[in-house]
Amino acid sequence: MGTRHKTAHAGVTREDLADAALRLLERDGAKGLSMRKVAAEVGVQAASLYWHVRDKEELLDLACDALWADFDAPPPHTTDPAGPHSPGGTDDWRPQVAVLARRLRTHLLTRTNAARVLVGRFAPGPRWLDRMESLIATLRTAGFDGRDAADATYLLGTWVQGFVLHESVPMSAAEQRGASPSEATALARRELEELSGERYPNVVALAGDIAGPDMDTRFEFGLARLLDGLEPLRATATPKQAE
Amino acid sequence: MGTRHKTAHAGVTREDLADAALRLLERDGAKGLSMRKVAAEVGVQAASLYWHVRDKEELLDLACDALWADFDAPPPHTTDPAGPHSPGGTDDWRPQVAVLARRLRTHLLTRTNAARVLVGRFAPGPRWLDRMESLIATLRTAGFDGRDAADATYLLGTWVQGFVLHESVPMSAAEQRGASPSEATALARRELEELSGERYPNVVALAGDIAGPDMDTRFEFGLARLLDGLEPLRATATPKQAE
DNA sequence: AAAGGCATCTAACATCGTTAGGGGGATCGG
DNA sequence: CCGATCCCCCTAACGATGTTAGATGCCTTT
């Protein structure tokens, strides 16, 4: 049987399975992922997977961790080449957090199908903890107390994931096998405009604003709002005194 | 009224299917929903469903809309029974939005299983549009311009859904068949504390803040941050310029 | 009474997750 | 060198799933 995929019968690792699962998920979507296909992808029979893995669930957990494999966080704040304690140094927490949020979004966005399945699963592996540690470090040195830093981290994480989840769904459920993205938004807008102007005056009037703006600007809007909302919580420099 | 359950063949409606699907989804979770079970629930053979519905997908779309059946939005701002049209009345947009956000959360939370499957599907039916119209109306009369109101609506919606999605997942993936919630958080906290204090100094130090606070306060934290971030966008009273 | 559509049925297919039990090849103790 | 042991994979099968095809009866209209 010449079905050796990688090295001839070198043995399959759990990482192989996770990678294969991720690959299939991304290529064929949620229903394209079956044990048999994962097995075929790594060059074995379906039942053989159960030697490495107890469940399909466990396989998904593995994939969930592998999702973060190639996500390279910016180095935590403590390794910042600039001044470690400089008052100006703690003010750039905004761009730092923003950059992390944007990277998180694009990371999930380029793995839409996988993210859709894996979001809300959250077996936080070491790679995810790295992100968390980095973010919290940034926030604390920026002047947030521990509790606020933890809550803000959670807030950012949940928002980005919720955002991507929406963003990655075809705007109209019926358009999944349909038109180009620009056509889809135009169509969505038209649908909104054709609603009852009596019952939905604002929705109709703002149809262009609701269906119109591209997701990038929408994301930036939300991000700016979050950062603005967090800002007043910072203890500027030492316990009291302002700047 | 006509709640004949499965008396002979009284005829099945699409609403019946959606309700049955929602019921099964909530009772048995995602994998408890099969065509055959939905059919049995309404007293019919599996194949008969395909007369009412093209796909399982379409059934889920139906259920997605039915999810909002018993969500009663607070009346839009214009029908506020208390202060009719006081100029200070536009300042209570915060509690209005907050109330809507909290209701949205609890609504999704009491339908966790269904929400998990249906989130990100979003065939926005009329009921969802009602919510949207109400929210946008509130924001606009509070002084937000159209574009900001639309973006803020999107922001709030995505955040609440992302939040609930996280909230409704068992804190540790392994604990789904395990302990009580309080035990789970205690265990999660202990797990965080046992991490390498070298690699994750902040995570370890704040283990209590990360795993500790209950979700209600976390939600309120995020909500307050969002509202704070939106506040400066309001055009306060002075009609200096539109757009 | 005949016709026709509506709503459901039975039967079957391919595919899915998962289990049971068997076997071949490497490694190690003697 | 031999056998034992473990690792890793195999074939075969079970029940459940989504979905289709074709037949059957009920209800309404003619």
| Of residues A132, A209, A221, nearest to B155 (C-beta) | A221
d(CA A202, CA B107): 24
- What residue type is B232 in one-letter code? P
Instruction: Provide CATH 1.10.357.10 ranges for chain A.
Output: 77-169+213-233
Tokens of A100: 């992390």
- Which residue intervals of chain B bear CATH 1.10.357.10? 77-233
> Token match 């609403």: residue?
B15
Percent over 90 (pLDDT), chain B: 44
Lowest mean pLDDT among A161-175, B93-107, B218-232: A161-175
- pLDDT of B169 > 90? The answer is no
Q: Of B61, B157, B206, which has the smallest distance from its Cβ to A136's Cβ? A: B206
A77-169+213-233 folds as Tetracycline Repressor; domain 2 (1.10.357)
CATH 1.10.10.60 fits B14-66, yes or no: yes
Nucleotide nearest B59, CA–C1', reads: D18
Query: Which residues does chain A have with pLDDT short of 70?
Result: 1-10, 73-90, 120, 122-124, 170-181, 237-243
Higher pLDDT, B9 or B24: B24
* DSSP H or E run through A18: helix A14-28
Taking the CA of residue A124 and the C1' sugar atom of nucleotide D3, their distance in angstroms comes to 46
- Would you state the pLDDT for residue A92? 87
Rg (CA), chain B: 22
3-state secondary structure of B152: helix
For the segment B133-139, the average pLDDT, to the nearest whole number, is 92
A218 and B174 within 8 Å at the Cβ level: the answer is no
Min Cα–Cα distance to chain B from A120, Å: 5
Contact: B158, A166; criterion CB under 8 Å: yes
Kindly state the DSSP code that residue A219 receives in the 8-state scheme: H
| Confidence label for B8 from pLDDT (cuts 50, 70 and 90) | very low
Mean pLDDT of B84-96: 67
All CATH 1.10.10.60 domain ranges in chain B, comma separated: 14-66
Please report residues of B whose CB lies closer than 8 A to that of A210: 132, 150, 153-154
CATH 1.10.357.10 fits B77-233, yes or no: yes
